[in-house]
Amino acid sequence: MSSGTLKILFIDEKRITSDLEKASYRKVGVHIHQATNFAQAKDALQKDGTDVIVINYDYGEIDAVSMCEHFKKQTASAAIPIIFTSVQPLPKRVTQRTTGPDLFIETPVPREYFIEQVRNLLEEKTRETERVVHEGVVVFELRGDTLECPIQDVSKSGILLATDINIEAGTKLSLSFALPGYKKPIKVDGEVVRQIAADGRRNTKAGLGIRFGEFNGDSQKRLEKYIAKSQHDDPKLVYYL
């Protein structure tokens, strides 16, 4: 994703035509391209860099599931995350497919919320190529209690905790966790960006995604050094797309 500009390909029958509506997307750092059929979508993917594909599942003129499967099988588009939108929950036959969407957003939702969910998805996909497994624990305070949560993985930009504790997105937390080979703990302020529900079908554990913000002292340098060393010394610890 280039310099914070988010390029979205919308596949939908609704066309965004007014200058005011286009300007509202540009205001939040989003460039949109639209397609109303499969041919237009393929043409758009060939002509311009696309960060994410959004398909309206309710659009009867297209087969959203087949289209999603096609894009995931093509080398040029396989790495582009795909989002389904719908005014009602998706059928299980769609959500359980291994070639199904990377994210589902039930609409309508505020534009700002929608864009935040898209950015969170892209950040998670990016982290999958640079995160390492870490068997330590994170300590933080929540509503006056000191909590410890096991770490699933950590990257330079965030951390994934193994927990079913319900903490709302946007909650600020001050985190502390140890790294092998370092005496001082990593201390950093973070923000909860996603709650992950356990899913036995996909072998997904319950988790809490936290994006790093302000680091304390030299914590950021020590973390980056640890991430680089872990990837170099033990590539098995890296999750590849």
Higher pLDDT, 18 or 84: 84
Higher pLDDT, 103 or 14: 103
214, with CB counted inside 10 A (0-12, 13-18, 19+), is exposed
- Centre a 10 Å sphere on the Cβ of residue 30 and count the other Cβ atoms it contains: 20
Q: Which CATH class is domain 132-237?
A: mainly beta
Q: What is the pLDDT of residue 12?
A: 92
Residue with tokens 């939908």: 12
pLDDT exceeds 80 at position 129: no
Cβ–Cβ under 8 Å, residues 190 and 158: yes
Backbone angles phi, psi at 93, to 5 degrees: -65, -20
First CA to last CA across the chain, in angstroms? 16
Q: What is the mean pLDDT of residues 186-210?
A: 81
Instruction: Tell me the pTM.
Output: 0.56
Residue 212 tokens read as: 């790093």
Give me the residue spans of the domains in the chain.
Answer: 6-127, 132-237
Domain 6-127: give its CATH code. 3.40.50.2300
